[in-house]
Amino acid sequence: MDHIRLPVDYPVLEDEDQPGIYKDSGFEYIESCLNWCKQNGLRVILDLHKTPGFAFDEPDKATLFESPILQERFINLWIAIARRFSGCMNDTLAFELLNEIVLLDSGPWNVLVRKVVERIRGLDPQRLILVGGNYYNAADELQNIEALDDPNILYTFHFYLPLIVTHQYETDVPSLVKNRIT
């Protein structure tokens, strides 16, 4: 093993009732993990697992892609993250924009990715950024991701087949995944 994927839900960094006010304690938590990884020779993917208006495990409640306000919060959260870690672990810390998008069409995600990458690049031009596709980062959705002219973007997918192995004892596998990949 040479890296970890550190999932961070937005409430670690921002309270729902105080949007835009970022928690030092949340950043300190991440920094503690980064320091441990650095000491142990591990690379880190900082994965925004949930953001205001989107959670991979509740795609039916997603409002991020219809709400300019929530999209701006998402972008601003990434700006805060990029600002905080600019110059930190340049070759060993990557940013994964958002975990497992679920949309009827990839278009809104492509638009939001373009905006957030542009803003991150203003602060951290060389940081490796991971972008996954639609339907829980399904491999066949890579073709629907808009490729940006940026050599430091890694397009990624998740592979869950066979579900009987990858989701042992899971009783609540989202029906969209069941219908899509089984």
pLDDT above 90 for 156: yes
Confidence class of residue 136 from pLDDT cuts 50, 70 and 90? Answer: confident
Mean pLDDT (the chain) is 91
pLDDT above 70 for 175: no
Task: Quickly count helices (H) and strands (E) in the chain.
Answer: 6, 6
Confidence class of residue 181 from pLDDT cuts 50, 70 and 90? Answer: very low
Confidence class of residue 177 from pLDDT cuts 50, 70 and 90? Answer: low
Domain boundaries, the chain: 3-181
Which residues are part of the catalytic machinery? 100
Fold of 3-181: TIM Barrel (3.20.20)
State residue 31 phi and psi, 5-degree precision.
-60, -40
Cα(95)–Cα(31) distance, integer angstroms: 14
pLDDT above 70 for 100: yes
Mean pLDDT for the stretch of residues 70-94: 96
Which pLDDT belongs to residue 176? 44
Q: Which two tokens stand for residue 130?
A: 């991971």
Q: Please give the share of the chain, as a percent, with pLDDT higher than 70.
A: 90
Q: How far is CA 120 from the centre of its chain?
A: 13
pLDDT above 60 for 138: yes
The pLDDT tens digits of the residues spanning 20-35 come to: 999 999 999 999 999 9
The H or E element that residue 180 is part of is: helix 175-181
Confidence class of residue 172 from pLDDT cuts 50, 70 and 90? Answer: low
